[in-house]
Amino acid sequence: MVTVRNTLLIFLLSFSFATAVAGDEPPRLSHDGLVLVEDSKVDQAYVQPGADLGVYDKVMLAKPHIAFKKKWQRDQNRTRFGEWRVTDEDMERIVSRTKDLFGAVFFEVLEEHNYPVVSTAGADVLLVRPAIIDLDVTAPNVSAVPLSETYAARGADATLFMELYDSVTGQILIRAIDKKKGKRKDLAWSIMRNETGNRADAEKAFRFWAELLVEALDNARKGNSKEQAGNG
């Protein structure tokens, strides 16, 4: 049931994001009662009316769901032959490493800003459920050719879905949707891509998203502090 729910939710969010990209106005109210945030730093953000992130000083981070762009493997293998072809095992390896990198970057950024990452729910614990979908790695290394390098005009593209919940009640508080492209606008020619470059692109995007989460938590705590000072 959990798998079915996650698949359905990602489908709904994908449809919502695709609609926005196509130029249509995103819905002001989500299917589960969240309200669209104006002028968000991400492509789309929805918030539960009355939600207060200022009560959370710890984070419980779920393992991210990772999904490749539709027909990514087929498109990659159109121009690859023999040992250069992307196998199912290569995709599993990329997914595993992406999950590990995502968790490591978020853990590091949160801990740096004094938001301990914990494994137990609590009144002061925010549950973060992330998903990376439409993952499009331009020049993936394949296991048969581990030191391969490819010239490409961009690195990896990916879309983040992140949901923030109260870890005790399960109440959803915020949903954010953001797409990051790996295109280098400052270069008019192709650059060498390999696994190190792809990892660097992913790490940069994950750090950006983690710092946005920290910023949201910090701003909420500052708002609460000002309100308490005013009441005092």
Give the pLDDT of residue 40: 87
In the chain, what are the domains?
31-231 (3.40.50)
Residue 152 bridge partners (DSSP): 191
pLDDT digits 0-9 by tens, 192-227: 455 666 788 888 889 999 999 999 999 998 876 555
Distance CA 86, CA 59 (A): 36
- Whether the pLDDT of residue 151 is over 90: the answer is no
Terminal alpha carbon distance of the chain: 48
Structural contact between residues 81 and 35, judged by C-beta atoms closer than 8 angstroms: no
Q: What is the pLDDT of residue 131?
A: 95
- pLDDT, residue 146, reads 53
Residue 170 has pLDDT above 80, yes or no: yes
| Distances, alpha carbon 82 to alpha carbons 15, 52, 67, 77, 86, in Å | 36, 54, 25, 10, 9
